[in-house]
Structure 1
């Protein structure tokens, strides 16, 4: 996130997520982080302890060979989805989650898209949160699995 993003945009994005307005949350998320826009990340579901997103297969997410996805894009996709799964843990706290550690295992390249990521909260501490994420292709084949840990950081005022 760039330094020139107004905290009100972050607050509005969190409000939209907590209200279940996934279309607005997707638009604001793409505004906050332009890479998410280029990746075509769309929020399709959120609960108290999980999130589901999709990602387009396009020239901006491609690897070095035709039909592949860059591993960094898959890691970013997992990080975004895992962080979203933790969003409802932050309701009204004035904090955001900041990635402190992530481990990702890659299994295969997709046969088709869009890709789907599903993340589940596995730990909610006072300052440390953790989630697991699975990324699948349009055929439901696991492409990657990730675990991520986040620290709560104060929102800028």
Structure 2
């Protein structure tokens, strides 16, 4: 089984900057947490920017897929994501719980709920990812 932890998650600078942590991971399931900080605040006091909530959901969905495809020779890329926003948080940290719902030859899909510290659902999302082979791909030269 692939061990997917904070070190792996933080390979994306955005995930590291948002201080996301992997709480649970097994193939097909993941829980990712993120603190409520000034950096994720929305326009109004007490709000969280919707893009930050969507980013947390995307990270959790992608994390739950690790171990469901050949991580050594494939990557997944988000091809579609739908987010339904319900409410603002009453406190943090935020918790994104994701489950895989489809694992096909080309596409994988997951669903996610992001909850606040009181376990209130803030958003629900569904996302689809495509598998891309890394075999035979040239790594771009550093500029």
Do the two structures share a fold, i.e. TM-score over 0.5? yes
**Who is 1:29 aligned against?**
9
SS where residue 89 of structure 1 aligns? Answer: coil
From 14, 38, 49, the equivalent of 1:70 is: 49
Q: Does 1:18 align with 2:26?
A: no
Unaligned ranges ≥5, structure 1: 1-16
Residue 27 of structure 1 deviates from its aligned partner by: 2.4
Displacement, 1:93?
Answer: 5.1
User: Are the counterparts in 2 of residues 136 and 143 from structure 1 also a CA contact under 8 Å?
Assistant: yes
Map 1:104-143 → 2, pairs under 5 A? 104-143=83-122
Runs of 4+ in 1 over 4 A off after TM superposition: none
Residue aligning to 1:12: none
**TM-score, L = length of structure 2:** 0.89
> Could you say what secondary structure the match of 2:67 adopts?
helix
Tell me the CA shift for residue 57 of structure 1: 0.6
TM (normalized to structure 1)?
Answer: 0.81
Say if 2:44 is the partner of 1:60. no
Aligned length: 136
Whether the 8 Å CA contact 1:18–1:91 is kept in 2: the answer is no
- The CA distance in 1 between the partners of 2:72 and 2:29, in whole Å, is 19
Aligned to 1:84: 63
Q: 1:108 to 1:41 in 2, by over 3 A?
A: same
Task: Say if 1:68 and 1:109, in contact at 8 Å, map to a contact too.
Answer: yes
Contact 1:99 1:149 in 2 (8 A): yes
Stretches of structure 2 lacking an aligned partner (at least 5 in a row)? 139-143
- Structure with greater proportional strand content: 2
Q: Measure how far apart 1:48 and its partner are.
A: 2.2
The CA RMSD measured in Å over matched residues stands at 1.5
Moved more, 126-135 or 34-43: 34-43
